[in-house]
Structure 1
Amino acid sequence: MNTTTSLTQNVFRVVLGLLMIMAGVGHLTFQREEFQAQVPRWLPASDAFMDFIVVSSGVVEILLGLTMVLLVKHKVKVGIVLAIFYVLIFPGNISQYTNGIDAFGLNTDLKRFVRLFFQPVLILWALWSTGALKYLMNKQKK
């Protein structure tokens, strides 16, 4: 399941991995309250539960970031898993928009709405930079 990637793809893979690590650290420390704004409001509203969601997703983000940077032999699998993770957390962005919750400088409905369009970019970034997009497209042709 390994595929060759270009220098540009490798740089973008590492950058995305480092961004994931930084976001994960933010979940655990200085941005913890802001990340709670993205916990979907249809989940239990208990402060302890919301904090658990933020902390656990932060740990997952750190692990995914580290694997993006370090597990080069498994980059296609990691890219697919990261893309799935981005899909799974998207309801949090939708919830932030539909409930009008301010966080991360997203203090208007327009800003929160525009933010929704960045999730597909992250999904494509994860798939493209790891070679997973090419792998999946070739697999579909067979």
Structure 2
Amino acid sequence: MRSALTTTGQLLLGALLLVTGTAHLTFARTEFRAQVPTWVPLDPGVVVIASGLAELLLAVALLSTWKQPWRSVAGALTAAFFVAILPGNIAQFTEHRDAFGLDTDAARAVRLLFQPLLVLWALATTDAIGTLRKRRNDEPAR
């Protein structure tokens, strides 16, 4: 059952991804390129476009999916995306790259601390963990 808090949280996360996805493809492309690790074997511009498109797709999923189990799928995919982009945030910190006003190691470190919160936000507001637990409990024993 959805609460007003989880519904609002899901809407806000979808809106955030809509804004950041749009930013990837338009006005903040240079800033996002700074987060692509140097070891990624793709052109940073391609990575930024691909991640921006992924964010837009996740935003649409979060803003339009309200019934389980698909709501949980949207949340789990969003959480997985946040885990997948963590190396970019780590690279920004370890390579001392300035972007988005994060121009000190302390600021970049604080940004890193928020990444797990984004993962939890995606899982909690879509009840992805609860749905997975319910499915496991509903499966017959082997």
TM-score by length of 1: 0.90
- For structure 1, the 5+ residue unaligned runs are none
Q: Which residue does the alignment assign to 1:24?
A: 21
Where does 1:129-140 land on structure 2 (aligned, <5 Å)?
Answer: 129-138=125-134
62, 66, 70: which one aligns with 2:60: 66
Q: 1:135 Cα deviation (Å)?
A: 2.2
Q: Distance in 2 between matches of 1:72 and 1:41?
A: 38
The structure whose RCO (Cα within 8 Å, separation 6+) is larger is: 1
CA RMSD of aligned residues (A): 1.5
Is it true that 1:110 corresponds to 2:140 in the alignment? no
Is 1:97 matched up with 2:79? no
Residue deviations 1:78-134, cap 9 Å, x none? 100110110000000000000000000000000001111101000000000001132
Shift of 1:137: 4.3
1:37 corresponding residue in structure 2: 34
TM-score, scaled to structure 2: 0.90
Which of 71, 75, 79 is the aligned partner of 1:75? 71
Taking the aligned partners of 1:106 and 1:16, their CA distance within structure 2 comes to: 22
Query: Could you tell me how far 1:40 is from its partner in structure 2?
Result: 1.1
Post-superposition CA distance 1:20-77 (Å, at most 9, x none): 0100000000000000011012114x7xx11010011101100100110102221101
* 5+ residue gaps, structure 2: none
Letter in 1 for 2:88: G
